[in-house]
Structure 1
């Protein structure tokens, strides 16, 4: 587990790969983002932007979250306070996603000296290093001295 003392601006973390299957893309689309370009290969071919089936951006985000938790193991979890994200290109069946994380800022709490806000930029990339998702995220990270029973 990583505590605030273990993290510095400029740190990089890289995840393992995760393959997006057609079945998983369609299943996620049917459950959470039921648009034809996520659920139907035939109809998706005629879509003017996607020109074929593509994973929901939220699906790509969910996979990114999974990979974050594995490669950036922050003590007490990735407790988000803010995030912005973009999807510069679609995630396709067969894409092998990995995430590259870079810590870009650490802002100590003004009211609690046992924590800080850590800002990091993530790029989720496929096997060709095409960027599928870019996010800037702020999380709360605790020092080793943090005592949850006192807070």
Structure 2
């Protein structure tokens, strides 16, 4: 687990790959985003933008969150305080998504000495390196109460 004192600007993290299967894309869409281009291959062929089933942007976001929790092990969890999110292209069925994270700022709290705000940029990419999702996030990160990571 990582604490505030373990992190520095420029630190990078990379996740494992996660495959977007047709069954999962359709299941997520039926549950949370039941639009034709997520669930009906035949109807999507005549859609003005998408010609095949694509994953919901929210599904891509959920997968991104899953991968974040695995490769960015912040003690006490990823407690979001702010996020700016762009979906630059859809995830296709069969895409293998991974995420890349870079810490761009660390701001210690002025009023609470046991914590700070860490700003990081994350990119969800497919197997070809195409960016599917780009986000800038701020999270609350606690310092270790045991002196963990301090020099």
> Is structure 2 residue 90 aligned with structure 1 residue 81?
no
Matches within 5 A, 1:46-125: 46-125=46-125
**Per-residue deviation, 1:66:** 0.3
Q: For residues 47 and 29 of structure 1, what CA distance do their matches in structure 2 show?
A: 17
Q: Over residues 58-111 of structure 1, what are the superposed CA-to-partner deviations in whole Å (9 max), with x where a residue is unaligned?
A: 000000000000000000000001111111111000000000000001111121
TM-score (norm 2): 0.94
Work out whether residues 15 and 67 of structure 1, in 8 Å CA contact, stay in contact via their aligned partners in 2: yes
| 2:137 corresponds to | 137
Work out whether residues 86 and 134 of structure 1, in 8 Å CA contact, stay in contact via their aligned partners in 2: yes
RMSD after superposition: 0.9
**Per-residue deviation, 1:47:** 1.4
Work out whether residues 109 and 115 of structure 1, in 8 Å CA contact, stay in contact via their aligned partners in 2: yes
Q: Over residues 35-74 of structure 1, what are the superposed CA-to-partner deviations in whole Å (9 max), with x where a residue is unaligned?
A: 0001111111221112211100000000000000000000
Gapped runs of 5+ residues in structure 2?
147-151
**Per-residue deviation, 1:145:** 1.9
State the SS of the aligned residue for 1:70: helix
| 1:17 corresponds to | 17
| 1:149 corresponds to | none
Q: For residues 84 and 20 of structure 2, what CA distance do their matches in structure 1 show?
A: 23
Q: For residues 86 and 135 of structure 1, what CA distance do their matches in structure 2 show?
A: 6
Gapped runs of 5+ residues in structure 1?
147-151
How many residue pairs match? The answer is 146
Q: For residues 133 and 51 of structure 1, what CA distance do their matches in structure 2 show?
A: 20
| 1:41 corresponds to | 41
